[in-house]
Amino acid sequence: MLVTGAGSGTGRAVAEALAATHDLVLLGRRADRLAEAADAARAAGAAVTARAFDVTADDPRALLDEIGPVDDLVLSAGLNAPRRAWADQRMDEFEAIVATNLTAPARMIDAALPALRAASGTVVIVSSIAAWTTSPGAGVAYRASKRGLRALSDSLNEQEAAHGVRASIVCPGDIDTEFLRQRPNPPRGAALDVMLSPADVARAIRFILDSPPHVRIDELVISPLSTVAR
């Protein structure tokens, strides 16, 4: 099982949720945070390989040649920026967001596909509720990149089901993580109390991965109970 964005937030929670039942390859940009996540997973019983890895720059094929094949992927690395509107966005930030949120998952899937076919593996792609419904505050680049992930997931299911590969896209609502600091006006106090936790999303991802091989969860939308009507 390979998890991107494993040093914090949803990726770290997934590592913790799967540590008792899966061997893990954990990837993240920040070596110190990744080491903490790896130690916690090992303490829960997992055999863990941890690598500081920039999903936008480092070579996933070289990584897989080094560590060996993986059977499942959870792709949770993500990026956004405070400048989110057409009126104030910067194109260098736009390109960085798309590179992290859309191109990097495609690169990882492409590199891992032979092993996924051999293992009849599962790919879980963490998108956002911004890809599922109108969400103006999420930003132009973020919404475009997260919606693009649906095409990745659908095309995998269309083309690779014959090889036993299944893909699921997970669209969470607001999650109380440090990712919220990238908002123009980060929420505080009571607003955080009603959000999802990373563990809530990780529990749903574990459900997807643990489903019988003939069962595919194409899309899973997870909302806090407090979400207002759309």
Amino acid sitting at position 190: A
d(CA 171, CA 178): 18
Q: Let me know if residue 216 belongs to a domain.
A: yes
Domains identified in the chain, total number = 1
pTM for this prediction: 0.94
Decide if 142 is catalytic: yes
pLDDT tens across the length of the chain (230 residues) = 999 999 999 999 999 999 999 999 999 999 999 999 999 999 999 999 999 999 999 999 999 999 999 999 999 999 999 999 999 999 999 999 999 999 999 999 999 999 999 999 999 999 999 999 988 889 999 999 999 999 999 999 999 999 999 999 999 999 988 877 778 777 778 888 889 999 999 999 999 999 999 999 999 999 999 876 55
Q: Which domain holds residue 62?
A: 2-222
CATH code for the domain of 57: 3.40.50.720
d(CA 43, CA 76): 22
Catalytic residue from among 131, 142, 169, 198: 142
Phi/psi region, residue 229 (left: phi>0; alpha: psi -120 to 50; beta: rest), is beta
Torsion angle of C-alpha atoms 170, 72, 19, 16, degrees rounded to 10: -30
Q: Let me know if residue 172 belongs to a domain.
A: yes
The DSSP call for residue 121 is -
Q: Let me know if residue 230 belongs to a domain.
A: no
The three-state secondary structure class of 220 is: strand
